[in-house]
Structure 1
Amino acid sequence: MDLRQLRYFLAIAEEGGISPAARRLHMAQPPLSQQLRQLEEELGVRLAERGNRAIRLTDAGEILKNRAEQILAMADSARREIQDYKAGLTGTLVLGAVSSSGLPDAHINAFHERYPDVLFELHEGNTFQILDYLKGGRIELGIVRTPFNSTHLDCRYAEPEPMMAAFAGEDPFPGREQVSVADLRGRRLILYRRFEQLVRETCGEAGFAPLVCCTSDDARTAINWARAGYGIGIVPHSALARESGLSGKPIAHGRLRTQMVLIRLKGRYLSTAARRFFELAEPTFRHL
């Protein structure tokens, strides 16, 4: 089993068939089918069930697909590391970031000004997806939100920021610079699922169940629903800061706060670009 076979197998798995995979790989179907058979013979298991027009991965095929993604990501990372070593501080910095990170930010801009020849490759997802990308070697550094398990991670923390009550149109809280959790009673709320449980708990502590009209996996979606007038979006301050057509007021509650965190996996080699990016994190991110 070699990297070429893994790339062939992953293309078949992702495309759902030999024909579309062959087109993607710019090769004929028979040799691709032969590669799949050879891989199955070597491993001693059937990896895919063939149909007339499509294939379906077996349980063994699903296991290999997951491992192949990790192996190929690490191989690509190793190739970039060697290229960086040869070329100096150029190449590509591979980052993962939550959608509410607000990139590019001041740190990205300062890094780009100092190292203009470094390119960026960005993978987006929620905090737990970014952690998986980091552990699997798909990315070198991640930008995520608290809370999360920081075991085996080096972390640099941004300043804590409040959760905001975001709204369109007329101010539902006139004359106030900030709102309390009690002020959310009876309001139609739009929640970013990352913080749904926390919002429900703090509302419960205030003696009421929140009226949730929408939950989503992306802070930008929560913001869009609030902008459309469906209710009040509960989102991090930095996610709201760059949005037009919306106003917001901080929610005065010690638990309804979050932090952006720059993370790397302890003990893993970093390319020169990633290492400089992590080292130059201050003042945006600080080691606590």
Structure 2
Amino acid sequence: MELRPLRSFIAAAEDGNISRAAARLHLTQPALSRQIKGLEDELGVILLERGAHSFSLTPAGELLLRDGRNLLERADALEQRVRATAKAQTIRVGYSPSLSAGILSPAIEAFTQVHPRARVDLADLTNNEMVDGLQKGTLDIIVTVPTIKDIPDITWTTVQKQAWRVAIPRQHPLLEKKTLVPKDLHEQRLVVYSQKEYPDYWAFIGAWFKQQGINARIASECDGVTSLISAVDAGLGIALVVERIACLIPERVVLKTLNPQPEPLQISVGMLDRHKNDKMLAVFVEELKRAGEVDHASR
């Protein structure tokens, strides 16, 4: 049984008049009469006892009116739930653990309190993979460092600035110094992120090393923060990292202050320009900014 003729029958039964019901349903009287007749034919029963100018419900019509209302209420409720489910947005986030530590988790927690039905999917990726995913539409937001090369269709919003530190193993000669200076890094074995996967990191650090007259020897290239810290822990060399990485390192690795140091690293949210009017994404970005401010104030 289709719901449309059922709605028409219930409207007519409630109004007690075909003409008034037809007007309420924006139908002509003959069209409404045909729908009700079609419903009777489908069910094989008479629903209305028709008179010259009025009608009355048969027992079958009274039953259909009573139970039909319940059926339509359930159908309308189901439609609303299905539509609401379809509107439940999934936000796909690419991130770097070493940069978003202390920011991403509280932001997601606060965001899901505002949008409890929203879903947040996370992907731990390199900078190149994040930018590529954003441009291809497989990611909605990325939390990383803005690319040195300007990409016209990506808007960046800074959520936190992080100072630089030098990660060294506990047996290293530099451990005795409270604060390091750039010349302390000269001719040191250096553990770095992979040039292929983190070209902007290489460009940034390389430029600063050149400015400071530092000649560092690359001891190991790593594909992520976990392998980089493991390499430092194993004594392969020292690494220039951001201060927030402290929550990820083992006890055998120490972070030393560097003074003077490169410009603070800007942890930012990248989003395609065409999504700038997406209200849910805007809320998520605001929560990331708020989490960045709270995290910075707590240090």
TM-score, normalization by structure 1: 0.60
> Which segment drifts farther, 204-213 or 181-190?
204-213
Give, in angstroms, the shift of residue 174 of structure 1.
Answer: 4.6
Partner residue, 2:95: 97
Structure 2 matches for 1:158-173, cutoff 5 A? 158-170=159-171, 172-173=173-174
Structure 2 matches for 1:134-283, cutoff 5 A? 134-148=134-148, 149-170=150-171, 172-174=173-175, 176-193=177-194, 194=198, 195-245=201-251, 246-255=253-262, 257-268=264-275, 273-283=280-290
Q: Distance in 2 between matches of 1:264 and 1:185?
A: 38
Number of positions where the alignment pairs a residue of Structure 1 with one of Structure 2:
204
Q: Distance in 2 between matches of 1:215 and 1:178?
A: 25
Give, in angstroms, the shift of residue 258 of structure 1.
Answer: 1.3
| Residue aligned with 2:190, SS | strand
Q: Distance in 1 between matches of 2:233 and 2:139?
A: 33
* Deviation sequence 1:77-118 (CA, Å, 0-9, x none): xxxxxx997338744321111242345433223223444443
Q: Distance in 1 between matches of 2:226 and 2:277?
A: 31
* Deviation sequence 1:213-256 (CA, Å, 0-9, x none): 11223232211101122111222222343322222123334535
Structure 2 matches for 1:1-150, cutoff 5 A? 86-87=84-85, 90-103=88-101, 104-148=104-148, 149-150=150-151
Larger Rg: 2
| Residue aligned with 1:255, SS | coil
Gaps of 5+ in 2: 1-80, 294-299
| Residue aligned with 2:120, SS | strand
Gaps of 5+ in 1: 1-82
Partner residue, 1:41: none
Greater fraction helix? 2
* 2:229 partner amino acid: I
Judging changes above 3 Å, is the alpha-carbon distance between structure 1 residues 225 and 117 closer, same or farther for their aligned structure 2 residues? Answer: same
| Residue aligned with 1:214, SS | strand
> Which segment drifts farther, 93-102 or 108-117?
108-117
CA contact (8 A) 2:185 2:214 kept: no
- Give the percent of matched residue pairs that are identical in Structure 1 and Structure 2: 15
